[in-house]
Amino acid sequence: MQIIDISIFVLYMISMLIVGVYFLKRNKSQEDYYVGGRKMTSLHIGLSVVATDVGGGFSIGLGGLGFLIGLSGSWMLFTGIIGAWMSAILLIPKIYPLAKKHNFLSFPEVLNHYYNGKVAIIAGIISLIGYIGFTSSQVLAGAKLAAATFPSITIVDAVLLMGIVVIAYTVLGGLKAVIYTDTIQWIILMVGLILIGIPLGYIKVGGWEAIKTYLPNSFLSLTNINLVQFINWLITIVPIWFVGMTLYQRIYASRDEKTAKKAWFIAGLFEWPIMAFMGISLGLLGRVAFEQGVFTEFGYAPGSPIDEEIGLPLLLTHIFPVGLMGLLMSSYFSAIMSTADSCLMAASGNFTTDILRLSKKNSKSIKYSQLATLVIGMLAIILATMMQNVLDLMLYSYAFMVSGLFVPVLGTMFLKNPSAKGALYSMLFGGGTTLILILTKMTLPFGLDANFFGITFSAVVFVLIQSFHKR
């Protein structure tokens, strides 16, 4: 990298730290630290939600789908707008007034209100483990992406650099710092990968004629997926909008119920069609470049095996001139950091609020919260650098969380007296079913995702126990 590129990247990292320092003295309580004092605006909340949800997978996942199947990959984020708007209509009107009245800071506190402490603490443990793993996986994924794009940087160096900066501004500034840095990171992502990346890539591969020449017609169609694939995306992504701790923190952080709803509608629109088609388009241009032989110098000649998720970084590395490589590097890091910081904040909230159950009125509680964030962040870095195999187990916990907690949340929304025993067993059996199916690598009927069977079994268990409870 040239000195100008390094300067741009260093300036970006310093600006993230400045945001954390700025909010350090402005956080006076756990409410300030974990839910932004409940005074955040809809635009900042909405951009933070979409940056968290899409940012970490934008450079890798969406680009890989565009490289593999073309425009039809955009349907994955269509499930995002469904989840966001369903959550705005069904969840927020139910949760926000309750959170405002009881000063909730975490998602499991909702379960404690409707069920009991046992259900809440198990949910808190599951969420904590899942988000620690998710933080680690985001840092590691970003490090691998940076190391593949910039050979002079090792994976360990990238993990340490990214991890230390994320931890620093999150520990210092809490959710306010996370939300405002997410806004900055989303803007950098849009400018770097979309406003610059797409035009440069389009010109570099030869425009529309080259796209039609090197790609089959299916890549330009919106019907290049089957119904089962869409259902799998639907049952994996939509439940996250109802059980994700990162999302509950942002609901609580909103000024009022109307602000929260507006933020969710903004996030949905940015997910689909804006981010969806732009991310897919970049991956599609990467596929054209691959078929043209552009990546031969990197060891990937046309027709040779290639991981679809590295097509996009190879394209951008090839087309970005000196002076813009620093912006590219910043775009990569911002995409990953916008998800990693939110997951770190969620894990810290689960630990202090749901497991330690620190008093919200304790004047020292914010110091304990900052310490918890620091320790959890350091653990995430250690996992990312030394224990990469453990990450799979952590991510299984995330699957457990989604398939286990979705039905109990629905129970709080649609039942007057939902059964705590039903919630507990549906959580364990539903999440356990998904884990077993994933670990045993069973061939599932019709190609459906393991989450489908986990959520279904969770619902059956909940309904049976609920019926018995009523009698």
Look at the chain and report how many structural domains it folds into.
Answer: 1
Is 248 part of a structural domain of the chain?
no
Q: Is the pLDDT of residue 439 over 90?
A: no
Pairwise CA distance, residues 91 & 261, whole Å: 10
pLDDT at 398: 75
Indicate the DSSP class of residue 255. Answer: S
Closest CA to 35 of 170, 174, 171: 174
Is 40 part of a structural domain of the chain?
yes
pLDDT at 284: 95
pLDDT at 99: 95
41 class by beta-carbon count within 10 Å (0-12 exposed, 13-18 middle, 19+ buried): middle
pLDDT at 34: 93
385 class by beta-carbon count within 10 Å (0-12 exposed, 13-18 middle, 19+ buried): middle
Q: Which residues pair with 40 in a beta bridge?
A: 254
Residue-averaged pLDDT of the chain: 88
Q: Which residues pair with 254 in a beta bridge?
A: 40
pLDDT band at 9 (very low <50, low <70, confident <90, very high): confident
Residue with tokens 């490090």: 143
Q: What is the arithmetic mean of pLDDT over 29-54?
A: 91
Is 423 part of a structural domain of the chain?
no
pLDDT at 388: 55
Q: What is the arithmetic mean of pLDDT over 309-326?
A: 82
Pairwise CA distance, residues 413 & 92, whole Å: 10
Is 452 part of a structural domain of the chain?
no
Is 412 part of a structural domain of the chain?
no
pLDDT in tens, 352-376: 999 988 767 666 778 889 999 999 9
Q: In this structure, what CATH number is given to the domain that contains residue 105?
A: 1.20.1730.10
Q: Give backbone dihedrals phi and psi of 40, rounded to 5 degrees, phi first.
A: -80, 150
Closest CA to 101 of 89, 113, 88, 84: 113
Q: Is the pLDDT of residue 390 over 60?
A: no
Is 87 part of a structural domain of the chain?
yes
3 state DSSP class of 419 = coil
**Two structure tokens written together for 214:** 């090197």
Sequence-distant (6+) residues with CB within 8 A of 144 are 155, 158
pLDDT band at 149 (very low <50, low <70, confident <90, very high): low
**Two structure tokens written together for 410:** 């629905």
The residue range of the domain holding 53 is: 3-227+254-395
Higher pLDDT pick, 233 / 313: 233
Is 429 part of a structural domain of the chain?
no
Measure the CA angle with vertex 73, ends 69 and 74; round to 5°.
150
Contact (CB, 8 A) for 59 and 214: no
pLDDT at 186: 85
Is 246 part of a structural domain of the chain?
no
Q: What is the arithmetic mean of pLDDT over 149-166?
A: 79
pLDDT at 255: 95
pTM (predicted TM-score)? 0.92
pLDDT at 1: 62
Residue with tokens 């912006």: 327
